[in-house]
């Protein structure tokens, strides 16, 4: 049983009272906020409202939902009605959405308690959580280090053990990379299985919401709740194609592919050693290890940053000082109002992406960059399809290094982009993947390993992640 289910049972069996639990939890949240800067806001009002409702429900003898009383943190690009959603950007500093994202409606329907919105890289753009208008998040495993990004606040909060669940979003690795850096489990679902309604768009063809959790069981519980068809999201997949929990393949005999090209990259020796060790133990447990080739893997970073920036430049056009958030004071005409609002409102990395994205979409360059990237995206997807003809899942590191120091890569965008080398292809192909902790490096920092599966293989991935947790604890 996972951490969330255990906590729910304590409430259910009367071992813990909601009131006293939350009286202790709220100061804990304030403490980790002081230490780590992991939240953009603590939603005390909403938490109290929910607790009151849950207490009444319990008193009337009604059964509690699957997350009865369980505290959940929500990345600050997911709308919670009546609470600020800033995307850690100055431009949305005063934006309060009047509606809940579908994932929030679903969590609340299962009696979860939303306790905080989490700090992130501005609009999801970054791999260290340093691109935040509110400042960097610190990694609880070592406060001098980055928690990863862009869901850094979510990963840090779960890693403290204070909350068992956080929601994140993953456009190119933003759930898996911070999960690896902080030593928690992170699932990026198949594109279209979790509604994006109420998620502030970064790159719409890549964005997916998913859980960061204390353990694989808890991630499974959250995925169960937040997945499902949503008519409010036109890219949501119809119910009949959804992942099934019943036809899981047995662990013994599972064919696990090792993508040769991934290991041609610079990988921290302890991470390569962790993968080698895991391969052996999986083989000992009866899995079949098969080397596979993903020949277009080396184009993944260039392809991802072309497509993601193109979509971002278009999506972020709506932040113009008219419809949402910040508007500059004292511009003398409309054009000046737009330029000054956007110059003041966006941080350096977001501006870089908007300019790159506008460039690759501009007439004369569209064919050379954007169209070409779309063609390579297709090739990357086909590489995976071919690999899954001979294997059930693929195994790789989640990241080429463990958590790096804060400040180490801020002046070198390319070095920062390269920390996504193992995660971005999965988003380009729309397939699911999970990062799960396995081993530590010489400094005691957690190592994350990634399993990648074909569309709708979430439950298989979660099952394997549970097995890896057991191997890691053994
Ligand atoms: N680090 C990647 C980027 O900066 C991925 C971000 C994400 O998944 N939101 O684009």
Q: Which residues pair with 435 in a beta bridge?
A: 186, 450
pLDDT at residue 14, as a whole number:
87
Contact call for residues 36 and 155 (beta carbons, < 8 A)? no
Cis preceding linkage at 150, omega within 30: yes
Helix/strand/coil for 145: strand
**Distance between Cα 173 and ligand 1 center (Å):** 6
Q: How confident is the model at residue 474 (pLDDT cuts 50, 70, 90)?
A: confident
**Distance between Cα 420 and ligand 1 center (Å):** 8
**How confident is the model over 431-456, as pLDDT tens digits?**
999 999 999 999 999 999 999 999 99
Pocket test for ligand 1, best of 75, 121, 312, 356 (most atoms within 8 A of CB): 121
Percentage of the chain beyond pLDDT 90 is: 94
Cα separation of 326 and 146, whole Å? 28
**Known active-site residue 150:** yes
Q: Which residues pair with 419 in a beta bridge?
A: none
**How confident is the model over 243-271, as pLDDT tens digits?**
777 778 999 999 999 999 999 999 999 99
Cα separation of 33 and 135, whole Å? 12
For residue 198, give Cα distances in angstroms to 77, 193, 236, 342. Answer: 8, 15, 13, 22
Of the listed 88, 132, 169, 174, which one is catalytic?
A: 174
Of the listed 75, 106, 117, 188, which one is catalytic?
A: 75
Contact call for residues 207 and 193 (beta carbons, < 8 A)? no
**Known active-site residue 425:** no
Q: How confident is the model at residue 295 (pLDDT cuts 50, 70, 90)?
A: very high
**How confident is the model over 34-62, as pLDDT tens digits?**
999 999 999 999 999 999 999 999 999 99
**Known active-site residue 75:** yes
Q: How confident is the model at residue 240 (pLDDT cuts 50, 70, 90)?
A: confident
> Between 15 and 140, whose confidence is greater?
140
Q: How many CB atoms lie within 10 A of CB 165?
A: 28
Q: Residue 296 is encoded by which pair of tokens?
A: 């277009």
Ligand 1 atom closest to the CA of 419, numbered from 1:
1
**How confident is the model over 375-424, as pLDDT tens digits?**
999 999 999 999 999 999 999 999 999 999 999 999 999 989 999 999 99
- Strands 433-440 vs 288-292: parallel, antiparallel or unpaired: unpaired
Ligand 1 atom closest to the CA of 173, numbered from 1:
8
Residue 82 region by backbone torsions, left for phi larger than 0, else alpha for psi between -120 and 50, else beta: left
Q: How confident is the model at residue 332 (pLDDT cuts 50, 70, 90)?
A: very high
Cα separation of 363 and 349, whole Å? 24
Residue with tokens 């298989």: 460
Cα separation of 419 and 415, whole Å? 7
Q: Looking at residue 93, what DSSP letter applies?
A: T
Q: Residue 335 is encoded by which pair of tokens?
A: 């054009």
Pocket test for ligand 1, best of 127, 154, 309, 418 (most atoms within 8 A of CB): 127
Cα separation of 150 and 210, whole Å? 13
Helix/strand/coil for 71: strand
Q: How confident is the model at residue 24 (pLDDT cuts 50, 70, 90)?
A: very high
Q: How many CB atoms lie within 10 A of CB 233?
A: 17
**Distance between Cα 128 and ligand 1 center (Å):** 10
* Element (DSSP H or E) covering residue 291: strand 288-292
**Distance between Cα 92 and ligand 1 center (Å):** 19
Residue 14 region by backbone torsions, left for phi larger than 0, else alpha for psi between -120 and 50, else beta: left
Cα separation of 117 and 99, whole Å? 15
Of the listed 150, 227, 396, 398, which one is catalytic?
A: 150
* Element (DSSP H or E) covering residue 255: strand 255-259
In this structure, the residue with its CA closest to atom 5 of ligand 1 is 172
Q: How confident is the model at residue 276 (pLDDT cuts 50, 70, 90)?
A: very high
Ligand 1 atom closest to the CA of 304, numbered from 1:
10
Identify the residues whose C-beta falls under 6 Å from ligand 1. Answer: 124-127, 150, 170-174, 202, 308, 420
Q: What is the mean pLDDT of residues 156-179?
A: 98
**Distance between Cα 335 and ligand 1 center (Å):** 30
Cα separation of 415 and 146, whole Å? 14
Pocket test for ligand 1, best of 186, 302, 308 (most atoms within 8 A of CB): 308
pLDDT value at 111 more than 80: yes
Cα separation of 359 and 179, whole Å? 32
């Amino acid at each position: 049983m996972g951490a969330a289910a255990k906590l729910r049972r304590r409430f259910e069996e009367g071992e813990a009272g909601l009131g006293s639990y939350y009286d202790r939890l709220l100061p804990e949240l304030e403490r980790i906020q002081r230490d780590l800067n992991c939240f953009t806001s603590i939603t005390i009002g909403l938490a109290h409202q929910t607790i009151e409702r849950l207490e009444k429900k319990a008193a009337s003898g009604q059964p509690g939902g699957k997350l009865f009383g369980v505290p959940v943190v929500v990345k600050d690009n997911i709308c919670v009605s009546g609470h600020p959603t800033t995307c850690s950007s100055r431009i949305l500093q005063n934006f309060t959405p009047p509606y809940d994202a579908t994932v929030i409606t679903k969590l609340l329907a299962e009696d979860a308690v939303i306790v905080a919105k989490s700090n992130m890289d501005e609009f999801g753009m970054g791999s260290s959580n340093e691109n935040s208008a509110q400042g960097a998040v610190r990694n609880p495993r070592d406060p001098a280090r980055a928690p990863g990004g862009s869901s850094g606040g979510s990963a840090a909060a779960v890693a403290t053990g204070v909350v068992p669940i956080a929601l994140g979003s993953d456009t190119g690795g933003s759930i898996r990379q911070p999960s690896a850096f902080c030593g928690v489990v992170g699932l990026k679902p198949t594109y279209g299985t979790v509604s994006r309604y109420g998620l502030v768009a970064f790159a719409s063809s890549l964005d997916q919401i998913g859980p960061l959790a204390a353990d694989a069981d808890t991630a499974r519980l959250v995925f169960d709740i937040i997945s499902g068809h949503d008519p409010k999201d036109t890219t949501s997949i119809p119910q009949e194609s959804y992942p099934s929990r019943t036809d899981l393949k047995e662990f013994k005999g599972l064919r696990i592919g090792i993508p040769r090209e991934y290991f041609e990259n610079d990988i921290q020796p302890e991470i390569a050693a962790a993968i080698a060790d895991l391969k052996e133990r999986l083989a000992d447990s009866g899995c079949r290890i098969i080397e596979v080739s993903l020949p277009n893997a080396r184009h993944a970073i260039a392809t991802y940053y072309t497509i993601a920036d193109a979509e971002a430049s278009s999506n972020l056009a709506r932040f113009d000082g008219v419809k949402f958030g910040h508007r500059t004071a004292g511009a003398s005409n409309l054009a000046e109002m737009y330029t000054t609002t956007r110059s003041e409102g966006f941080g350096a990395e977001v501006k870089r992406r908007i300019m790159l994205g506008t460039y690759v979409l501009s007439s004369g360059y569209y064919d050379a960059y954007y169209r070409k990237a779309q063609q390579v995206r297709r090739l990357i997807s086909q590489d995976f399809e071919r690999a899954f003809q001979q294997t059930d899942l693929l195994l790789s590191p989640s990241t080429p290094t463990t958590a790096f120091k804060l400040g180490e890569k801020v002046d070198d965008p390319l070095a920062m982009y390269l920390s996504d080398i193992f995660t971005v292809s999965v988003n380009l192909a729309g397939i699911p993947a999970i990062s799960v902790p396995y081993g530590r490096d010489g400094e005691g920092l957690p190592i994350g390993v990634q399993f990648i599966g074909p569309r709708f293989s979430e439950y298989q991935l979660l099952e394997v992640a549970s097995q890896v947790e057991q191997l890691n604890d053994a």
